[in-house]
Structure formats: C-alpha cells, structure tokens
Amino acid sequence: MVWGVRRIREFNGALLGKWCWRVLVEKESLWYRVLVARYGEEGGRLLDGGRTASAWWRAIDALRSEAWFGTNVKRSVGNGKNIYFWSDVWVGGVSFKERFSRLFELSVDKWVLVFDLFHLGCGVNGEAWKWRRSMFAWEEEQLGELCFLLQNVILQVDKEDKWIWKLEKSNAYTVRSAYTCQSAQLPVVDPVELKLLWQKIVPLKVVVFVWHLLRNRLPTKDNLLRRGILHTDSCQCIAGCDSMKTVNHLFLHCSLFGTIWNCVRCWIGLSIAVPLNVSDHFSQFYFGGGRSQVQHTILNVVWFATVWEIWKERNNRIFNDKESSVMRIVDKIKSLSYSWLKEKFQISQLPWLVA
C-alpha cells in the first residue's frame, strides 16, 4: 500500500511551521543570529526583510501571522524577563498590541518587558504606565479592562519564560499535530452580513463592538477561561444567576439582562421569541419589524443601543462596583436610541420613541 499526503498545502504549512517554532525557541543559535544580521530584529521579533527577503523567509514570515499557528502557540510566563509586554502573545490568544491598539499607540515605552512593568506596578494608577498624553474616558475604560486581565498573572522569579505548543502534551511542536490542525479546520461562516452592521448614525466604536460581539470576540469570562486567563470558579455570571458567563447568556438569557429585552420589546411593540444565540437574535430583531427599510434601520439602532448599554452595565459592575436598576438601564437605551435616530429621522416618524 502506498501512503501519501492528501493535502499538500497543509503539509507544507506544517513543515514551515517547524521553522516558525524554531524562530521562537532557538534564539541563541547561530542560524538565528544570521537572520538577525540580515533582516533585523525589533521587540524580540525578526523583521520581514522587505523585498530583499528570500522566498523561504517570506513564506515563514507570512505563516507566523496565520491563525492556526498563532492560536496554538502560548507563552508560559516565568519571571517575565524575556517577554515583551505589548508585542508578545502571553495572555490570551492575541498580543496586547493588537487587542489594545490605542493603548499601545499612546504608550511611551513600546518594548517594555513584563518583568519591568510588573516591578514598577501595573495597577490603573501604577508607575509602569507612561502615556504620551492624558487619556480620554473610553481609553481609561480600556486600561481598566487591561488591568483586570493582569490581576491573575503571577510572575515566578525562579523560572524562565518558555514557549508552549498547545496541541501536544510534550508542549513541543510537531509536524503531525500542525498538519492535523490545519486539515480539521472548516471554512469560517460569517454569521451576519457586514452590510447589516454598518450604520452611519451609530458611533464607529459601537459598530466595532457589535462586530466583535457577533463573532464571540469579547472578553467575557468563558473566553477568558478558554484562554487560560481565569479559573473556573471565577466564571460565574456577574448578575449572580449561577451560570457560566458566555456571550449568549450575558446578552440574552441572564436573569437580569434578559429582563431588559422584555422591556425593550414592550417599548417598541415587537413580539418575538428569544433565540439561543446572539447572531440569530440580531437577525430576528432586524427583520422583525416588517419590510420597510426605515423600520429595519430603527430596530437595528435600538438593538445596537441595547447591547451597548448591557455591556456598559456589565463593566460598571465589574470595574466600578456600581449597579443600575433594570428600568434605569432601559431609560438609558431609550435616550441613546433617540440621540442616534434624531440625526436621520423626524420626530413624527418616531412617535413610540418619545412616548
């Protein structure tokens, strides 16, 4: 019997992935120093080399950014002396440089090491944070979220930092596991058409938030648990309903926040059953008001305002220890919806909104 590779592209990627792994773990080797001399290094990462780079190195550099490799590589934190705080992936599945891009742009020291940052103090008012200017309110919210992620990180001064390949018990990269991972991946199906999310009268930050919400990319407790940031006993819903705080639970089925949707549906006169997931809820809400484009837009904006206020209430309870009643949150949703809709519609088109 002749054995062969059924998927050449995936097998080739797995072989190149071996070199990506060696780039991470063999930085003291002679061949790595040769690459540094030829292409340069910044923040512990080899540069792409531009047009002068060889085809071999361009392929490796491109593969380093592919999801199947990046999501399966994890930095095990020891003393933090070899981990760049912003650019390395060491908490969760994405670097803080990407996750908190605005904070990275504002930071003075973009190549600070984890050890140095923790030594100076990384609380909200810690000395480690040095910014180019004063922060806006929404940037301070991001800093609070970042500090929350760092609360459970404990440096181990007697251990070195190391890389872990999550697909093997040995924590070392293997071509077999990389090939199996790529072969098992299914095409990504977009749950909601992007054009339905784009509302010019809604602030861009809210549109981006909803985009992350519908793709389950928010830092909810279940996502933080899956990334190894939180422990299981820290993942119960903030409302105290003894359920794992997933996106679907938080925004739809929570005993507290689910009540908000009941009030909103009564307010706008919409009668629909609550689906199991957020994507279906968005589509159902969008098309639930009939065929009029005006109705679609109005319901879309109300949905945006509702999930935005739910998320803000969740953050207030976690970071500021402040709570609002259900009716107070609903009033905020009404006010926010009106402030957005009045830019495009006349009051006569929104009699129920100001009732």
Q: Which amino acid is at 51?
A: R
Same domain, 64 and 79: no
Same domain, 181 and 33: yes
Q: Are residues 68 and 79 in the same domain?
A: no
**What band does 32 get if pLDDT is binned at 50, 70 and 90?**
very high
* Strands 73-76, 162-165: pairing kind: antiparallel
Q: What is the number of structural domains in the chain? A: 3
Q: Is residue 48 part of a domain?
A: yes
pLDDT at 215: 84
Say whether both 125 and 50 belong to one domain: no
Say yes or no: 35 and 89 in one domain: no
Query: Are 215 and 66 within one domain?
Result: no
In the numeric block, the tokens 């648990």 are attached to 225
94-120: average pLDDT = 87
Specify the pLDDT at position 2.
Answer: 38
Q: Which residues contact 264 (CB under 8 A, 6 or more apart)?
A: 302, 306, 330, 333
Q: Is residue 335 assigned to a domain? A: yes
Query: Do 259 and 276 sit in the same domain of this protein?
Result: yes
Q: Tell me: do 2 and 67 sit in the same domain.
A: yes
DSSP structural state of residue 347: G
Beta-carbon neighbour count of residue 2 at 10 Å? 3
Same domain, 266 and 335: yes
Mean pLDDT of 104-117: 89
Cβ–Cβ < 8 Å for 310, 260: yes
DSSP-H helix ranges across the chain:
8-25, 30-39, 55-64, 67-70, 96-99, 101-106, 114-120, 137-150, 175-184, 194-197, 204-214, 221-226, 247-248, 257-268, 278-287, 293-315, 326-341
Q: Which residues pair with 165 in a beta bridge?
A: 73
The residue segments making up the domain with residue 12 are 1-72+166-185
Helix (H, G, I), strand (E, B) or coil at 76: strand
Report whether 299 contacts 257 (CB < 8 A). no
Place of tokens 């709570």: 323
343, amino acid identity: E
User: What count of other Cβ atoms lies within 10 Å of the Cβ of residue 190?
Assistant: 9
The residue that leads in pLDDT, 122 or 132, is 132
**Encoded tokens for 88:** 């390395």
| 216, 123: one domain | no
Average pLDDT, the chain: 82
Residue 355 belongs to a domain: no
Asked whether the CA dihedral 44, 46, 48, 52 is positive or negative, the reply is positive
pLDDT for position 174:
94
pLDDT score for 189: 42
Domain assignment of residue 124, yes or no: yes
Mean pLDDT calculated for residue range 266-294? 77
Tracing tokens 């389950």 back to the chain, one arrives at 216
Structure tokens at 63: 């593969």
For residues 24 and 124, membership in a common domain is answered with no
First to last CA, the chain: 77
Residue with tokens 């990627």: 13
Residue 283: closest CA among 218, 214, 338: 214
In a domain, 354, yes or no: no
How far apart are alpha carbons 253 and 213 in whole angstroms?
15
- pLDDT given for residue 67 in this prediction: 76
Predicted confidence (pLDDT) per residue in 11-23, tens digit: 888 999 999 999 9
Nearest to 84 by CA among 72, 75, 93: 75
For residue 153, tell me if it sits in a domain: yes
> In the chain, count of helices (H) and strands (E)?
17, 4
Domain membership flag for residue 138? yes
Return the sign of the alpha-carbon dihedral for residues 282, 287, 289, 294: positive
Radius of gyration of the chain (CA): 24
- Which of 78-92, 111-125, 318-332 has maximum average pLDDT? 318-332
Instruction: Convert 314-332 to b/e letters by CB count within 10 Å (16 or more is b).
Output: bbeeeeeeeeeeeeebbeb
Half-sphere exposure of 142 (CA within 13 A, CB side): 19
Tell whether 22 is covered by a domain: yes
Q: Are both 78 and 160 inside the same structural domain?
A: yes
pLDDT score recorded for residue 257: 85
Q: Domain ends where: 154, 185, 216?
A: 185
State how far the Cα of 4 lies from the Cα of 2, in Å rounded to an integer: 7
More confident residue, 291 or 11: 11
Would you give the distance in Å from CA 167 to the centre of its chain? 22
* % of the chain surpassing 70 pLDDT: 83
* Residue 135 burial class via C-beta count within 10 angstroms: exposed 0-12, middle 13-18, buried 19 and up: middle
Q: Which of 2-11, 53-62, 196-205, 283-292 has the lowest mean pLDDT?
A: 2-11
